[in-house]
Amino acid sequence: GENVEQHPSTLSVQEGDSAVIKCTYSDSASNYFPWYKQELGKGPQLIIDIRSNVGEKKDQRIAVTLNKTAKHFSLHITETQPEDSAVYFCAASIEETSGSRLTFGEGTQLTVNP
């Protein structure tokens, strides 16, 4: 089955700096890669996703890049703000039917210091 590794497990940055979180996946058949933000005591919130036919996607301060050959994908947050502090999870799945499930990374605790 799919295995997703995520690094780093913790990341501390100063407000205004950029943050990068990296994930690798094992199953070359995976073709959908979402990123979730989870605040304490809440469910994960989808912040951005990318399909394997695209190498990069950007949404305001957030961007995701995908390297299919190397099986790497990364989340980039620019101009970080204290409210970006949360746990971020990457995930991978095979886009087929509504039953296909997500395999999650172990999460990254991001702390943005004011």
Q: Which is nearer to other proteins, 14 or 53 (CB)?
A: 53
Q: Which is nearer to other proteins, 45 or 67 (CB)?
A: 45
- Cβ atoms of 92 and 27 closer than 8 Å: yes
Tell me the residue type at 62.
I
What CA–CA distance (Å, rounded) separates 15 from 30?
34
Stretch that binds other proteins, among 12-20, 33-41, 68-76, 77-85 (CB under 8 A): 33-41
Q: Which is nearer to other proteins, 40 or 70 (CB)?
A: 40
Contact between 26 and other proteins per CB under 8 A? no
Closest CA to 111 of 6, 7, 15: 15
- Cβ atoms of 88 and 35 closer than 8 Å: yes
Stretch that binds other proteins, among 16-24, 45-53, 55-63, 70-78 (CB under 8 A): 45-53
Collapsed DSSP state (helix, strand, coil) of residue 11:
strand
Residues that bind other proteins (CB under 8 A): 32, 34, 36, 41-46, 49, 51, 89, 93, 95, 98-102, 104-107, 109
